[in-house]
Chain A
């Protein structure tokens, strides 16, 4: 039996049964389940497309991975070059390479990095949680602050609060993150001694036993409270820099979305009947604005996961951005394709989740 969002309701019993009846007859399931299934299938097809695009683009780049991976002298030795090409399958035609790549992919094998000589999957398994840890922190803070600021700016449209918040959000968007990261690092670490040094942990700490790859979570699971606190303090600055940018983006977007909703008749009606502002904002305005806000939050989270390379560079954070840069600069084709696939899959997953949440929030979407 397919469990759907409708099953969780406690008061919708009769209606639920009414819906399920005809669906069983048609054999295609609940409309919401159909909606989810459709999105999942589309995402899988898009994922295959992503593999093709990354493969073609990566192989179209001028330059030879042999030249980029082997040393000056090793690249002059035909025997070494031949061994390298054979080892990484570069001696086969492109079509064969792609088919082999797809075949390996089905077995969870993303190939071997020509730079690190490790399985790309294990490299990514180490890099993705590092980025995820700062991206998750940044998105949670950004949503909280961005929604608050955006709503406040909309309610105080044209007043001082609105102008101040506009300046704040524009500053967050327009200050280069690389510069901001360096300045904040200099100020908070070197001058004020509030933040710790670069990296994910202080040098006198050992990496906690890997379970999730998120140091804070792994440290807690291992019962290492001091490691947890150290890892948490190292998250402070990278999360702050990413949050400042994303808050800027969300504030502007939420303001626009809320302004649109404020003009709606049902909001006017709610205000007219004397409901407290807090209730109007929570139950009417934000509920109505949640679909467009969700879209931009999804996109912001995707770009946080894939676009942190500069912040990672300043804070010596061994995440997906650093791995992407390292792979690209060494023409490490399996590495580049692995990163492309992960980022593509992340966007698809985020979009899928957002699409499903649309369905949860707005019944019109799932019935369409």
Chain B
């Protein structure tokens, strides 16, 4: 009895608080409360690799997706075709030597605060990318940006840079409102302090503005009322959430999300009739690298051993293991880029040739170490699975491989330092132009990682020099194809897979087109 008497006031108190809250009239926490018409919300699930929304510091796939919606670029791509640039906020006049690029603003674009975009904004934005020395600053290496008049900006380079127009379409080079940026700590040097501002507000002319950003959980975008670009967005509010693949599948099936961006080839099976899957080859290329430095390995630096490895691999087996959308990489340049190799030029499995080359190499069954990032899953393909499959395939020819998995954060050091005997890695394009793949030639970034210095292969180097010079699209195509044929023949890289990219979307969402640079143009999505 005593106990119940003591407890009663507490229960009454709790009830009183609850009742008083109800009586006081609780407000609503919903996004549309008091805003009039209910917003048309789109939920996109993506496994985040987001670090920032500041274009000058952003160079991750999630960042590209977000910044494509917030900012407009001088030039752009239409839909999924990244082999041809089209005007964005400006039109391009390129000199025949690919050293001078004159960009004229169309004059119709305004920022989300109503200010008209001028050449000053362009110069400020591009110089800021160069000056803050962030991840994308290399895109404008050797580029000088000058203002000609209020509507015209001229970019000049000392050497021919035929890739520059493709580079200018990258959302990292989006045009920002210079007045707003300067008022919020923005500058064009390393002292720039506008990142915090750009992670809470956007300062662009894109179809959306940033409502909120949480690097760990979600990014919320709302329609930019001042947007006057080509397509008016259908969805007034977009929530991009950080969700892992397995949960993405359940979410898109159940309708909690309308789009899932990270489903593997296996996961897209059995999604049901309410979900439509768009499968395209991604622009990533997974390759095997054999170190050519005798100091690193006497075995892998032997050209006959390299030939034996190339002929031992069962490429079709790897493709079927990877699942929907994946194809064999014919060369290092992905299939949707200018200069990509035809399937008929791809490396082929030839057990007899492999055995003959191995015998010629003098290989005596020594263990060869294959290093790879154990925690990398690319478009649903796990690197350890490929490594194990390669080990089994090479064993058939008589090559003994020791697997050396390590977390990517620790293994990158050995890879970039050129210390790996054999390495399993991938290259995601920095920009959709074949010149980004010149890194695979002697003395260049990846060449050096494979212990392949300048002068190591004069045939390949000569073809690379010719390809770098530029020319018409036809000329460039044939130059890069010749280069890749030579690389397949004598280079230390074995192009393996071009993984498929799957976008699963509710059938009510229309206009889903994969783009190799920004994955998805959110503003181009429609609704039924």
Binding site for B on A (CB under 8 A): 61-64, 67-68, 70-77, 79-80, 83, 115-118, 123, 126-127, 182, 185-186, 189-190, 196-200, 203-208, 219-220, 222-227, 230, 313-316, 318, 322-323, 326, 328-331
Whether B37 is near chain A, meaning CB under 8 Å from some CB there, is: no
Instruction: Give me 6 A-to-B residue pairs in the complex whose CB atoms sit less than 8 angstroms apart, sorted by A's number.
Output: A64-B412, A126-B214, A190-B253, A198-B243, A206-B29, A224-B28
A79-B130 Cα distance, complex, nearest whole Å: 12
Contact B241 A219 (CB under 8 A): no
Q: A77-B137, A329-B407 are in contact. List 10 more A-B contacts (CB 8 A).
A: A63-B412, A70-B135, A71-B135, A117-B57, A198-B241, A204-B30, A219-B29, A223-B26, A225-B26, A316-B244
Q: Mark B174-193, 1 if CB is under 8 A from A, else 0.
A: 00000000000000001000
Whether B98 is near chain A, meaning CB under 8 Å from some CB there, is: no
Contact B28 A226 (CB under 8 A): yes
Nearest CB in chain B: distance from A352 CB, A: 28
A323: chain B residues within 8 A (beta carbon) = 216
Nearest CB in chain B: distance from A350 CB, A: 24
Whether B59 is near chain A, meaning CB under 8 Å from some CB there, is: yes
Whether B143 is near chain A, meaning CB under 8 Å from some CB there, is: no
Nearest CB in chain A: distance from B491 CB, A: 19
Contact A74 B134 (CB under 8 A): yes
Contact A74 B137 (CB under 8 A): yes
A196-B28 Cα distance, complex, nearest whole Å: 18
Q: Mark B131-152, 1 if CB is under 8 A from A, else 0.
A: 0011111100000000000000
A192-B410 Cα distance, complex, nearest whole Å: 43
A146-B522 Cα distance, complex, nearest whole Å: 49
A322: chain B residues within 8 A (beta carbon) = 216
B137: chain A residues within 8 A (beta carbon) = 74, 77, 80
Closest to A75 in B: B416
A203-B134 Cα distance, complex, nearest whole Å: 32
Contact B241 A199 (CB under 8 A): yes
A208: chain B residues within 8 A (beta carbon) = 29
Contact B195 A117 (CB under 8 A): yes
Contact A190 B190 (CB under 8 A): no
A222-B21 Cα distance, complex, nearest whole Å: 10
Whether B256 is near chain A, meaning CB under 8 Å from some CB there, is: yes
A75-B379 Cα distance, complex, nearest whole Å: 24
B256: chain A residues within 8 A (beta carbon) = 189, 196-198, 203
A111-B220 Cα distance, complex, nearest whole Å: 27
Contact B241 A203 (CB under 8 A): yes
Contact A63 B409 (CB under 8 A): yes
Given contacts A189-B250, A190-B253, A316-B217, contact A63 B138 (CB under 8 A): no
A330-B215 Cα distance, complex, nearest whole Å: 14
Partner among B57, B218, B254 whose Cβ is within 8 Å of the Cβ of A197: B254
* Of listed A123, A204, A326, A331, residue having the most chain B CB within 10 A: A204
Binding site for A on B (CB under 8 A): 21-22, 24, 26-32, 41, 43, 51-52, 57, 59, 133-138, 190, 195, 212, 214-218, 239, 241-244, 246-247, 250-251, 253-254, 256-257, 375, 407-413, 416, 430, 445
A211-B243 Cα distance, complex, nearest whole Å: 26
B52: chain A residues within 8 A (beta carbon) = 117
A72-B416 Cα distance, complex, nearest whole Å: 9
A186: chain B residues within 8 A (beta carbon) = 250
Given contacts A189-B254, A226-B30, A316-B244, contact A73 B22 (CB under 8 A): no
Nearest CB in chain B: distance from A101 CB, A: 20
A58-B140 Cα distance, complex, nearest whole Å: 35
A275-B400 Cα distance, complex, nearest whole Å: 76
Contact B51 A115 (CB under 8 A): yes
A67-B409 Cα distance, complex, nearest whole Å: 7
Contact A226 B29 (CB under 8 A): yes
Considering the complex of A and B, which 4 residue pairs feature the smallest CB-CB distances, nearest first?
Answer: A197-B256, A227-B29, A63-B410, A318-B216
Nearest CB in chain B: distance from A58 CB, A: 12
A205: chain B residues within 8 A (beta carbon) = 29-31
* Of listed A222, A316, A328, residue having the most chain B CB within 10 A: A316
Nearest CB in chain B: distance from A315 CB, A: 7
A115: chain B residues within 8 A (beta carbon) = 51, 215
Partner among A116, A126, A206, A223 whose Cβ is within 8 Å of the Cβ of B21: A223
B31: chain A residues within 8 A (beta carbon) = 204-206
A64: chain B residues within 8 A (beta carbon) = 412-413
Contact A77 B41 (CB under 8 A): no
A222: chain B residues within 8 A (beta carbon) = 27, 29
Contact A318 B24 (CB under 8 A): no
A189-B24 Cα distance, complex, nearest whole Å: 33
B26: chain A residues within 8 A (beta carbon) = 223-226
A92-B414 Cα distance, complex, nearest whole Å: 23
A330-B212 Cα distance, complex, nearest whole Å: 24
Given contacts A74-B134, A197-B254, A206-B31, contact A61 B416 (CB under 8 A): no
Nearest CB in chain A: distance from B271 CB, A: 12
A230: chain B residues within 8 A (beta carbon) = 29
A220-B22 Cα distance, complex, nearest whole Å: 11
Nearest CB in chain B: distance from A284 CB, A: 18
A190: chain B residues within 8 A (beta carbon) = 250, 253-254
* Of listed B59, B215, B410, residue having the most chain A CB within 10 A: B215
A332-B286 Cα distance, complex, nearest whole Å: 26
Nearest CB in chain B: distance from A52 CB, A: 22
